[in-house]
């Protein structure tokens, strides 16, 4: 579904990502790990069109393979690639429901004139989007808080809301940037179960960055490891746990 081919990302003289290659198959949960500053979020930014790679390309295949590394973020999202962020980026002053509702606007077919004039076609789409938003909030356990302001939610529920907003775009590939950041052990366990459930419920392929090794080793089928922008290991959880280069990158050597 996703092929990252020999991607290099430079910022002036700094090489943030160096010749990185990865393949993600449909239905997989794949992890991207590495020490702070390893280049993980830069990879996500390249995949989602925030950055154009200095070298290499990104291909996305949801039935028709396309090079997406030349597209805008909104064009990539429309194809079915959506993400959450390391630092939660909700519309904090809007309601929980409105945050999800906004995500659904990507799929609206009506134009600005039909919305201003409140034409029947727009009203029908708006009603369908409202029903879909409420359905997603039920699925992530936030329906009871749908009318509350987003900022009033506890941290773990804000994470769920951000994922619900991403689901409103009808993604095929969901990128999660440190979804367990700031969570306590109970919330982390609930998150692992939640990710597994939404993967099956919405037929998702998931690519995630995470520092919580419990999460990565518990739900990922394949893991890529970056260190200083360079891929140093790839494999299943057991192979990664026993890889000497990975151990050195995280713990150092005597």
CB under 8 A, 24+ apart: contacts of 51-57: 51/9, 53/7, 53/8, 53/9, 53/17, 54/8, 54/9, 54/10, 55/6, 55/7, 55/8, 55/19, 56/4, 56/5, 56/6, 56/7, 56/8, 56/19, 56/20, 56/21, 57/5, 57/6, 57/7
Instruction: Give the model's confidence band at 178: pLDDT under 50 very low, under 70 low, under 90 confident, else very high.
Output: very high
Residue 170 has pLDDT above 70, yes or no: yes
> What integer pLDDT is reported at residue 87 of this predicted model?
86
Which fold is adopted by the domain 1-80+205-254?
Answer: Rossmann fold (3.40.50)
Q: Do the domains at 1-80+205-254 and 82-170 have one common CATH topology?
A: yes
What CATH number matches the domain at 82-170, 3.40.47.10, 3.40.50.300, 3.90.226.10, 3.40.50.10540? 3.40.50.300
In this predicted structure, which of 88-97, 106-115, 178-187 has the lowest mean pLDDT?
106-115
- The string of pLDDT tens digits covering residues 211-241 is 888 899 999 999 999 999 999 999 999 999 9
Tens of pLDDT, residues 29-86: 999 999 988 999 999 999 999 999 999 999 999 888 999 999 999 999 999 999 998 8
Return d(Cα 131, Cα 17) in angstroms, integer. 42
Q: Please, which pLDDT band fits residue 122 given cuts at 50, 70 and 90? A: confident
Identify the pLDDT of residue 253.
64
Domain ranges in the chain are 1-80+205-254, 82-170
Q: Is the CB of residue 205 less than 8 Å from the CB of residue 26?
A: yes
Q: Is the pLDDT of residue 137 over 90?
A: yes
What pLDDT is stored for residue 9 in this prediction?
97
Q: What is the pLDDT of residue 155?
A: 87
Q: What pTM, to 2 d.p., does this model score? A: 0.89
Closest by CA position to 173, among listed 203, 193, 200: 203
Please list, in sequence order, all residues whose beta carbon lies within 8 angstroms of the beta carbon of residue 77, skipping any fewer than 6 positions away: 48, 106, 169, 171
Residue 166, CA distances (Å) to 27, 106, 136 in order: 17, 11, 10
What pLDDT does residue 124 have?
85
């Amino acid at each position: 579904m996703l092929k990252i081919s020999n991607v290099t990302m430079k910022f002036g003289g700094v090489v943030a990502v160096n010749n990185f290659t990865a393949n993600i198959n449909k239905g997989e949960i794949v992890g991207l790990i590495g020490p702070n500053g390893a280049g993980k979020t830069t990879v996500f930014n390249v995949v989602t069109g925030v950055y154009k790679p200095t070298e290499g390309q990104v291909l996305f295949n949801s039935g028709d393979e396309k090079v997406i590394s030349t597209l805008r973020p909104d064009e990539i999202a429309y194809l079915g690639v959506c993400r959450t962020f390391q630092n939660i980026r909700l519309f904090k002053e809007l309601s929980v429901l409105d945050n999800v509702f906004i995500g659904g606007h990507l799929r609206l077919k009506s134009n600005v004139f039909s919305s201003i004039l409140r034409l029947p076609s727009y009203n029908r789409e708006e009603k369908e989007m409202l029903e879909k938003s409420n359905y997603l909030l039920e699925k992530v356990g936030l329906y009871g808080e749908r009318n509350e302001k987003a900022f009033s939610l506890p941290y773990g529920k804000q994470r769920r809301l951000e994922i619900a907003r991403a689901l409103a775009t009808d993604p095929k590939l969901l990128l999660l940037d440190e979804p367990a950041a700031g969570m306590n052990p109970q919330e982390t366990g609930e998150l692992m179960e939640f990710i597994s459930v939404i993967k099956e419920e919405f037929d998702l392929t998931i690519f995630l960055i995470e520092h919580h090794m419990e999460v990565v080793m518990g739900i990922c089928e394949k893991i890529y490891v970056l260190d200083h922008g360079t891929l140093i290991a790839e494999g299943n959880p057991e192979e990664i746990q026993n890889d000497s280069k990975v151990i050195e990158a995280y713990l150092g050597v005597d």
